[in-house]
Amino acid sequence: MRVSVVVLDDADWDVRALALVVFRERWGHPESYLEKCRELALSDSNTHVRGVAITQFAAHYAGTHDATVSAFLARIVLASDRPQGERFVAYCGLFQVNGLPVEVGPIVKFAHGTFRFPEDVDWDFVNSLYPSGQPRS
């Protein structure tokens, strides 16, 4: 496991993104991995790595209705200074964490070419998961 943690800090963004997936497949979701996903989701220098980290983080909490995780993802969705791809992945993660059926989620609509970000976002849903009074970005 120590080698994979080191690889998550590799200078090559492709290596970091792949390591996120391989690490999860090999060792699951230990707390250190989830902390690293959260860190990379917020501050990695590469948008692809940030998106993979958001996806891996949300996948661990699928169906848990975890309010802290939902608030974390909602904050990313609401951050207009972040790339739309990251915000979309976080939005999909909100559906996953809150146990909503895939059929109603944005990923299916996106696959059919019928979802536009941010126009089609259910902002009431996102805002309901973000505690009032918290900074949005």
Which residues neighbour 29 within 8 Å (Cβ) at sequence distance 6 or greater? 60
CA dihedral for 32, 49, 69, 25, sign (positive or negative): negative
pLDDT in tens, 51-100: 999 999 999 999 999 999 999 999 999 999 999 999 999 999 999 999 99
Length of the chain: 137
Segments making up each domain of the chain, as ranges = 1-60, 63-137
CA distance 82 to 43: 11
pLDDT tens sequence across 115-129: 999 999 999 999 999
Distance, CA of 23 to CA of 81 (rounded, Å): 29
CB of 76 closer than 8 Å to CB of 57: no
Round the average pLDDT of the chain to a whole number and report it: 88
Q: If pLDDT is split at 50, 70 and 90, which confidence band does 1 have?
A: very low
